Amino acid sequence: MSDFLSRLCEKWLRVPPPPQAPPGAGASARIFLAAPGFLKYLRLRWAIHTVLSVIVGGVVLSALGGAILTLTGAETGGYLLVGLLVLVVALALLAKATLNFVLIQLGYANCYYVVTDSSLRIRHGVLTVHEVTFTFANIQNLSVVQGPIQRMFGISDLKVETAGGGSAEHPGHNLHVAHFRGIANPEELKELIATCMQAHRDSGLGDPVSAQSTAPQRPAELPLTDALQAVLAEAVALRHAATPRTSGDGR
């Protein structure tokens, strides 16, 4: 079913194919979907939303139907108008519920999480595809979030935060926060990411270089005694050159 939905999205909605591991990631890359309990959680939310929509629609129809019958004097034409209104609203609610149910199925089948030894990537969405990639050097905080309904289905969300705040180019969408939604092993994934972050930091990236390696190398210098002896030899040579030579007979 998941493969069929993925092919359907790729063909008709132009959704990108499933992500592949980055070059060089090797066996360390992990590509996975949300837990099956997350799909049940989304279906329950859909059912609750649908029931509430039907209740609200019924209340609105009752009020409108009563007003129409009052204006028409409860004649046959009034009942026909009320029946037509009920049919239109019912078809609209049915179409909306069906579309939302299909989008839930497609959204679950096209939500991918990718974790490598250097970064993580989250891609979700069908009508609008959102994809975010974080390097472990920028991640600042990891937190697990679980509500009562999520606890019932055995799933949680892992929240990943990086340095910075919201983006002015994407109002209402924080590009520095990402969520692994509906996962069954949040603590295991959190520990994996924390281990990768620690390994990345221990590798020396961003660490200050030691003073010994950054200090400029001074050229080799002669010992002080050798330098003095060289100066003395030069002085003696200059003195000999400046002294006039005398002949052996005293002239």
Q: In which element (H, E) is residue 140 found?
A: strand 139-145
Report DSSP state, residue 46. Answer: H
CA-closest candidate to residue 185, choices 33, 35, 14: 35
Q: Is the pLDDT of residue 230 over 70?
A: no
Q: Is the pLDDT of residue 147 over 80?
A: yes
Average pLDDT, the chain: 78
| Whether this model's pTM surpasses 0.75 | no
How many CB atoms sit inside 10 A of residue 30's CB?
15
Q: What is the pLDDT of residue 158?
A: 94
Given pLDDT bands bounded at 50, 70 and 90, which one contains residue 2? low
Token representation of residue 108 = 């679950």
> Is 237 or 92 the better-scoring residue by pLDDT?
92
Average pLDDT score over residue span 23-35: 78
CA-closest candidate to residue 37, choices 182, 149, 186, 157: 182
- CA atoms of 251 and 116, how far apart (whole Å): 98
Q: What is the pLDDT of residue 195?
A: 87
Sequence-separated (6 or more) residues with CB below 8 Å from residue 243: none
- CA atoms of 63 and 4, how far apart (whole Å): 44
Sequence-separated (6 or more) residues with CB below 8 Å from residue 93: 50, 53, 54, 57
Sequence-separated (6 or more) residues with CB below 8 Å from residue 194: 142
> Is 223 or 175 the better-scoring residue by pLDDT?
175
State in Å, rounded, how far the first CA of the chain is from the last one. 124
pLDDT exceeding 70 applies to what percent of the chain? 69
Task: Kindly report, residue by residue over 81-118, the tens digit of the pLDDT.
Answer: 888 988 999 999 999 999 999 999 989 988 999 998 88
Task: Kindly report, residue by residue over 153-198, the tens digit of the pLDDT.
Answer: 999 999 999 876 544 444 456 678 889 999 999 999 999 888 888 8
